[in-house]
């Protein structure tokens, strides 16, 4: 979609413009902080987000800490509830009922994944849809599908912000989403459709996937397979949004995936034991696309920013503002 703004290599090959998530995330957080201050000064309201974590998963602990810290930085009230790994479904449901009943609580987020003994579906459906800042409740999923005003899931909403704030034209574009999860694939397809894109959803059973994806002006890769989207899947000059987060440990694979940037990634592998790659082959994606979101540093940075925005939106809507 943005070939005119792509870069040129010394050999004359086009290199994709990088859709950096950091400045967009900072813009959203600044807007959110201003909205929080207006609510405080004009209505004596401070939006309140409660994050619930069950168990001791290290990745979940990092995600939750980031969410709580960002909430405080932007002026929101933040509560963090830590429950032990043996917490039962019924115990978690009682906590959610308590949070639903507290009028000062505007957003409830239960960090996923939950321990295997907890019924994730029952838990997510127990959250008051008006306080569902993750956008996962069936009521909010249905409203999104119907094009009604709704709090959209954070990552899909962040993808739209990344496109809009980089002046990528969505209306009239051919968009393809690879992946049909309820968390990313389906909701981002709905959001693109609402902005007048012509949307195709692909998945593991799609025949001749490359023939379908090559027609897309906007390609969203959310299939959960490292470097699965190759040059043959991408229309030259297309805008590519890479949602994948996959670990790669093999040094030979790192060299193949990152080409001239491999030395930086190899240093990370030797220090940390792995590096992160998205669902798009990084070297081939940059060579063919007109614009591409990096991994890390792209969509992932927007998820927490959109969670903060969703909490403020919930606070306003719940009070009829």
SS3 for 66-106 is HHHHHHHHCCCEEEEEEECCCCCHHHHHHHHHHHHHCCCCC
Active site residues: 67, 111, 134
Its CATH class, for the domain covering 154-302, is alpha beta
State the chain's mean pLDDT as an integer: 94
| E strands, 146-228, in order | 174-178, 198-202, 218-221
Smallest CA-to-CA distance from 75 within 43, 40, 27 is with 40
Return the residue matching tokens 């807007």: 31
Model confidence pLDDT, tens digit, residues 189-201: 999 999 999 999 9
Question: What are the angstrom distances between the C-alpha of 264 and each of 17, 82, 256?
Answer: 20, 37, 13
pLDDT score of 14: 62
Q: Which two tokens stand for residue 39?
A: 């609510």
pLDDT score of 13: 59
Average pLDDT over residues 281-295: 97
Return the residue matching tokens 């574009």: 173
Residues of the chain with pLDDT > 70, as a percent, come to 96
Bridge partners for 79 per DSSP: 50
Report if pTM > 0.75: yes
Q: Is the peptide bond before 113 cis (omega within 30 degrees of 0)?
A: yes
pLDDT score of 57: 82
Residues near 185 by beta carbon (within 8 Å), at least 6 away in sequence? 177, 178, 179, 201, 203, 220, 222
Average pLDDT over residues 309-321: 96
The rounded distance, in Å, linking the Cα atoms of 91 and 107 is: 19
Q: How confident is residue 9, by pLDDT bands cut at 50, 70 and 90?
A: very low
Model confidence pLDDT, tens digit, residues 250-279: 999 999 999 988 999 999 999 999 999 999
Average pLDDT over residues 97-103: 98
Model confidence pLDDT, tens digit, residues 27-79: 999 999 999 999 999 999 999 999 999 998 888 888 888 999 999 999 999 99
Please indicate whether residue 1 or residue 96 has the higher confidence score (pLDDT): 96
Q: Which two tokens stand for residue 310?
A: 């969703």
Model confidence pLDDT, tens digit, residues 109-155: 999 999 999 999 999 999 999 999 999 999 999 999 999 999 999 99
Where are the domains positioned within the chain? 43-130, 154-302
Residues of the chain with pLDDT > 90, as a percent, come to 90
The rounded distance, in Å, linking the Cα atoms of 202 and 98 is: 40
Q: How confident is residue 294, by pLDDT bands cut at 50, 70 and 90?
A: very high
Q: How confident is residue 10, by pLDDT bands cut at 50, 70 and 90?
A: very low
pLDDT score of 61: 85
Asked if pLDDT for residue 2 goes beyond 60, the answer is no
* Domain range 43-130, its CATH number among 3.30.428.10, 3.60.15.10, 3.20.20.140, 3.40.50.10860: 3.40.50.10860
pLDDT score of 11: 43
Bridge partners for 107 per DSSP: 49
Return the residue matching tokens 């994948």: 244
């Amino acid at each position: 979609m943005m070939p005119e703004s792509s870069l040129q290599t010394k050999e004359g090959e086009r290199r994709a413009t990088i859709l950096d998530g950091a400045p967009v995330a900072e813009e959203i957080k600044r807007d959110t902080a201003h909205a929080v201050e207006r609510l405080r000064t004009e209505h004596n309201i401070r939006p309140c987000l409660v994050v619930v974590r069950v168990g001791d998963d290290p990745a979940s602990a990092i995600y939750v800490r980031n969410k709580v810290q960002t909430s405080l930085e932007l002026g929101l009230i933040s509560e963090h509830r830590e429950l032990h790994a043996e917490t039962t479904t019924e115990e978690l449901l009682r906590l959610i009922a308590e949070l639903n009943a507290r009028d000062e609580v505007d957003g409830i987020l239960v960090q996923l994944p939950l321990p295997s003994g907890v019924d994730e579906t029952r838990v997510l459906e127990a959250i008051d849809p008006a306080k569902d800042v993750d956008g996962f409740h069936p009521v909010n999923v249905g409203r999104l599908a119907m094009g009604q005003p709704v709090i959209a899931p954070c990552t899909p909403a962040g993808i739209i912000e990344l496109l809009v704030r980089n002046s990528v034209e969505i209306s009239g574009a051919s968009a393809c989403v690879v992946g049909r999860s309820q968390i990313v694939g389906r909701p981002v397809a709905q959001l693109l459709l609402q902005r007048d894109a012509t949307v195709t959803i692909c998945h593991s059973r799609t025949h001749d996937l490359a023939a379908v994806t090559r027609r897309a002006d906007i390609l969203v890769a959310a299939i959960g397979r490292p470097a699965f989207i190759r040059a043959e899947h991408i229309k030259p000059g297309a805008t590519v949004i890479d949602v994948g987060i996959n670990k790669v440990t093999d040094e030979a694979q790192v060299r193949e995936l990152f080409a001239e940037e491999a030395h930086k990634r190899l240093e990370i592998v030797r220090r940390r034991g792995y590096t992160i790659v998205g669902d798009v082959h990084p070297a081939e994606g940059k060579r063919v696309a007109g614009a591409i979101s990096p991994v890390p540093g792209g969509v992932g940075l927007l998820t927490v920013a959109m969670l903060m925005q969703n909490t403020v939106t919930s606070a306003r809507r719940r009070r009829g503002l």
